[in-house]
Chain A
Amino acid sequence: MERWIVVTLIIAVYLVATLAIGLLAGRRASHSVAGYVAGDRSFGLVVMYFVTGATVFSSFAFLGGPGWAYSRGAAAFYILGYGVLGIAPFYWMGPRIGALGRRLGHVTQAQMITGRFPSRALSALIAVMSLIAFVPYITIQIRGAGIVIEAVTDGHVPLWIGALAAYGIVILYVLVSGVMAVGWTNTFQGVFMVVIAWSLGLYLPYRLYGGVGPMFERIAAARPELLVPPGLAASGEPWSWGAYSSYILVSAVGLMMWPHLFMKAYTAKDDDTLRRTVILFPTFQLFLIPVFLIGFSGVLFPEAPPDPDSILPFMILRTDLPALVVGLFCAGALSASMSTGDALLHASASVVVEDGVARYVRLDDRVQRILMRALVLLTGAVSYWFALDEDSSLVQLLASAYGIVSQLAPPVVAALYWRRATTGGVAAGLIAGWATAAFFYLNPELKPFGLHEGVLGLLVHVPVLVGVSLAMQPQPERLLNEFFDEGGDAGEMGG
């Protein structure tokens, strides 16, 4: 049998298994918004660990990570640096957000923020900006799935069919089962990603160079500039320390502000589960090391892939691995794409309905769930349409998506820890931050020290938030007492 047929069969088996897990998972959830969005707050440690890991690491890490290591060298190390820094504060913030959610009934980030800073317009603004950040991110995932399938089947399954098959399945299980499907499929996909990355990342250097050390010795002799941070820019010129450092900073600040990750605080069974997920996260993070090794193994390879992002499938196909292994690798890469894509689709629909529509129109539970499903379908279709477009500016859009989500950090921190912050201050800060980030995104040549536009946005955002809040009357005492649960009669604690 020809190799591409074997590979296609393995992918088909993998997709059917994912679908089965996704559909079965939904049978455990209640038919309510809390069930569809927050999984009835029932996720245990194993599920939370893999949900968080598999959701954080997407096509960007699995295909983009090796692509960066291959073409930009040590610049890729920034991806290793920010994850743990971003998630560690959630050891404290996560349980606090989860307890607020249980007490006040929040299932989204904007509900938490506007629980403290009541404003329908603020809620709708956050929903719209989240959606703008989500669409390019989903598009990248869909395109990643299509690229991998097309590459490993030698073009017999074109991008549009591969992407359609993979995301048809994602949409089906998200529609039917909501976040329960995301949880259980991500557990399956997370295991897959980790095993594939480590085995391939160690195998390729041994197969081609006789070991990891010998591989780096040879790269150090031929291309030493690739092994020293801050590495290279996309153009091949040296990257700047300002850009490298501010990418780490903005990604660390923005990471847990992605609504699809933030909302995981509402899915955990209890506070200890959340805390242990944070503690164990560094073990998942280290899987980027073999991912980089895969990219570095291509540096001295005589042939080059059509573009850096396809270095992974390119290397797989040139090391005469058996078709079975190629198929399994492909399933791993699809896992990376689908496990992030499903969470993104699910979260974008939940956010638009809960924080946008439901704040203006009274909807019952059943109508909300129907509307969310319609939006999953719509967002999926729009992103799929973008994914077929070759336009590479989407990659640029994704980088700037961090400029958008990182601006959600000051309102979240202010809501949880600063009683003097006011609705006006938070709204003014958000608008100033987003406007600044947008300005430098559109005028990159004006960025001081090559700093990421998200960091520049934060530099304007925080003083505006503080200044406007202090200039205004404090929030009403009753609201603060209810939010912080200090006022006596509402003494029931979560957990």
Chain B
Amino acid sequence: MSLRTARTLTAAYLGATLVALTWPGALPAARIRPLVLGLPFALFWAAAWILGTLVVLYLLDRVERRHRSEGNH
């Protein structure tokens, strides 16, 4: 994947997270059931987006890293 694509996708994911956690994106998830892992759905929803950030940033870093090592040759 090119650096530009990886950065665009990461920025898009972060933008989606902001939408998903605020009005109006958070409206569909603003409910109690189903409980997931014992947590109300709204809390699980927020936690899941945050865990997703971990994955997305890790993947971005792999692309950035490969790009940097190629650039230094």
Contact = CB atoms under 8 A, between A and B. Distances in A.
Interface in B37-70: 37-40, 42-43, 46-47, 50-51, 53-54, 57-58, 60-61, 64
Nearest to B23: A241
B2 interface: no
Interface string A365-392: 0000000000000000000000000000
Contact of A283 (B30, B32, B54): B54
B60 to A, nearest CB: 7
A202 to B, nearest CB: 10
Contacts of B60: 91
B38 A213 contact: yes
Contacts of B39: 212, 216, 289
Interface in A186-225: 211-217, 220, 224
Contacts of A83: 50
Interface string A266-278: 0000000001101
Place the interface of chain B in its size category: 20 to 34
B37 A85 contact: no
B9 interface: no
Interface string A112-139: 0000000000000000000000000000
Contacts of B50: 80-81, 83-84, 282, 285-286
B14, B38, B60: which has the most chain A beta carbons within 10 Å?
B38
Interface string B15-47: 001100111101100111101011110110011
Contact of A244 (B23, B43, B61): B23
A14 interface: no
Contacts of B37: 212-213
A245 B53 contact: no
A279 interface: yes
Nearest to B60: A91
B37 to A, nearest CB: 7
| Nearest 9 pairs of A and B residues by beta carbon | A212-B38, A213-B38, A245-B22, A241-B23, A282-B54, A81-B21, A227-B40, A279-B57, A245-B23
23 contacts: A77-B46, A80-B43, A80-B47, A83-B50, A84-B50, A88-B57, A89-B14, A91-B61, A212-B39, A213-B37, A213-B38, A220-B32, A220-B40, A224-B32, A227-B42, A228-B32, A230-B30, A245-B22, A248-B21, A249-B22, A252-B18, A279-B57, A289-B39
Given A77-B46, A279-B54, 9 more contacts: A74-B43, A81-B22, A213-B35, A216-B32, A228-B31, A229-B26, A241-B22, A278-B57, A292-B43
